[in-house]
Amino acid sequence: MSYDLVVIGSGPGGYVCAIRAAQLGLKTAIVEKRQTFGGTCLNIGCIPSKALLYASEVYEEVAHGLGPLGVVVGKPKLDLPAMMKHKDETVGANVQGVAFLLKKNKVDTFFGAGSIPAAGKVEVTAGDGAKQVLETRNIVIATGSEVTPLPGVTIDEKIVVSSTGALELGKVPARLIVVGAGVIGLELGSVWRRLGAEVTVVEYLDRILPGMDVETVKQFQRLLEKQGFKFLLGSKVTKVETTKSAAKVTVEPAAGGEARTLDADVVLVAIGRRPYTQGLGLEALGVALERGQIVIDAQFASSLPGVYAIGDAVRGPMLAHKAEDEGVAVAEILAGQHGHVNYDVIPGVVYTNPEIASVGLTEEELKAKGIAYKSGKFPFTANGRARATRHTDGFVKVLADAATDRVLGVHILGFGAGELIGEACVLMEFGGSSEDLARTCHAHPTMSEAVKEAALAVEKRAIHI
């Protein structure tokens, strides 16, 4: 069977690429090694984690947050199996939705491990070992990423877990040690902390959330500590010893020094993710790789003609929405259009409570680049809607070019920050200024007014502070 395009991997990048290609008239197929579509994001990542984050937030609010609103309830009882059922139903609805969309757009689907024996060919190996070869003009690799292992530590998904196992725990651990203070560790740590776990985060660097705006992250860390998180920064895990029901974790200062041992019921290894490209046959074909990532040009083309790559398998942030945009762009390029991704306007969100959302450059990056800038900041404590809903933690910060006033970065710490960042993305996509944002009418009372006020503050003319 011959195709215009075969996509390997049905995560956010892959399935979006396949659908867009089919919309543009390309005869398209998609190959997926799981028995469900959606990749890591829908099955064991973004979607199930957000389901548990929301459920645990509701649990904590009922337990501790309703009294000041005049709502009196008894002590809530945790039904963890029901919470997990909510998570599983959410995942099921999403993966079924992707299956429907692929069928609707007439994308042929093949289940099995995909590999590339030669240019223009994709071999699909089913679970029972049966093989078939698809002929195609173009191939897009969208195989995503996998958990980065911690050297010397075995993940059994019971006592020592990855993000996958942390979404499937059968009971709330009394003591949870999280190795890595990145997005995944803090989000999943938040889930189990709300449900009753004592959470300690061990991070090799001297800060949490590396790469994000320092001022925003410092205030965020204080809020997490207030919630009960414990942080061991500038520290490294050198050994994890497990029994049937617990673990002993050896921690040493990153700069050297005396080791200490921590007891844990569960250890979550969350030190990052790495591209998943093994088994594709890339080395034999001479496809250029760099640190496990497929090297691509501005058109998403690899070094092998007819083979393209997107998402976590290539350079750039490992984010589902980045992969989606790349999937659309490469499909349009293959259809003779001009697909493009603006890598300067890709938001990042940490879905804790409060959330952090960021787009564009941080103050540290602006200083390193020697770009003169102005900063405007507005706290949610001065926002009427935030007061009414008791969501006053955090602030909005807008960074604008000192000469042109063009907005170069926006950083939000607060409730619903992931939703609020959207208008900053639209503004920056059109090259907007802080003046543009400041003169745009925002509904009152809304949390979004804090974004407008931060833009006003760039020129020191905020009204409500």
90-143: pLDDT as tens digits: 999 999 999 999 999 999 999 999 999 999 999 999 999 999 999 999 999 999
Q: Which two tokens stand for residue 166?
A: 């942390």
d(CA 229, CA 24) in angstroms, rounded, equals: 49
d(CA 418, CA 427) in angstroms, rounded, equals: 15
Are 225 and 193 in contact, with CB atoms under 8 Å apart? Answer: no
How confident is the model over 195-200, as a mean pLDDT?
98
pLDDT band at 458 (very low <50, low <70, confident <90, very high): very high
d(CA 330, CA 311) in angstroms, rounded, equals: 11
Consecutive H or E run containing 145: strand 145-147
- The per-residue pLDDT for range 162-186, each reduced to its tens digit, is 999 999 999 999 999 999 999 999 9
Residues across the chain: 465
- Helix 46-60 vs helix 183-194: crossing angle, to nearest 10: 40
Q: Provide the mean pLDDT of the chain.
A: 97
% of residues, the chain, pLDDT over 70: 100
**pLDDT > 90? residue 420:** yes
Q: 166: closest CA among 198, 191, 135?
A: 191
The reported pTM is: 0.96
d(CA 92, CA 43) in angstroms, rounded, equals: 8
Q: 218: closest CA among 397, 367, 373, 402?
A: 397
Residue found under tokens 């199930």: 48
**321 flagged as catalytic:** no
Residue type, 243: T
Q: Which two tokens stand for residue 281?
A: 């046959």
Non-local CB neighbours of 371 within 8 Å, separated by 6+ positions: 361, 401, 408
Pick the catalytic residue from 86, 321, 411, 444: 444
Are 138 and 306 in contact, with CB atoms under 8 Å apart? Answer: yes
Are 251 and 232 in contact, with CB atoms under 8 Å apart? Answer: yes
Are 345 and 360 in contact, with CB atoms under 8 Å apart? Answer: yes
Q: How far apart are the first and last CA of the chain?
A: 66
Q: 247-253 and 235-242 as β-strands: parallel, antiparallel, unpaired?
A: antiparallel
pLDDT band at 74 (very low <50, low <70, confident <90, very high): confident
d(CA 134, CA 172) in angstroms, rounded, equals: 46
Count of beta carbons in the 10 Å neighbourhood of residue 36: 17
**pLDDT > 80? residue 407:** yes
Q: Residue 28, Cα to own-chain centre: how many angstroms?
A: 28
pLDDT band at 65 (very low <50, low <70, confident <90, very high): confident
Are 168 and 45 in contact, with CB atoms under 8 Å apart? Answer: no
Q: 349: closest CA among 218, 189, 186, 120?
A: 186
pLDDT band at 366 (very low <50, low <70, confident <90, very high): very high
pLDDT band at 1 (very low <50, low <70, confident <90, very high): confident
Non-local CB neighbours of 187 within 8 Å, separated by 6+ positions: 49, 53, 350, 351, 352
- The per-residue pLDDT for range 315-352, each reduced to its tens digit, is 999 999 999 999 999 999 999 999 999 999 999 999 99
pLDDT of residue 252: 97
Q: What angle do CA 8, 9, 13 make, to 5 degrees?
A: 110
Residue type, 125: T
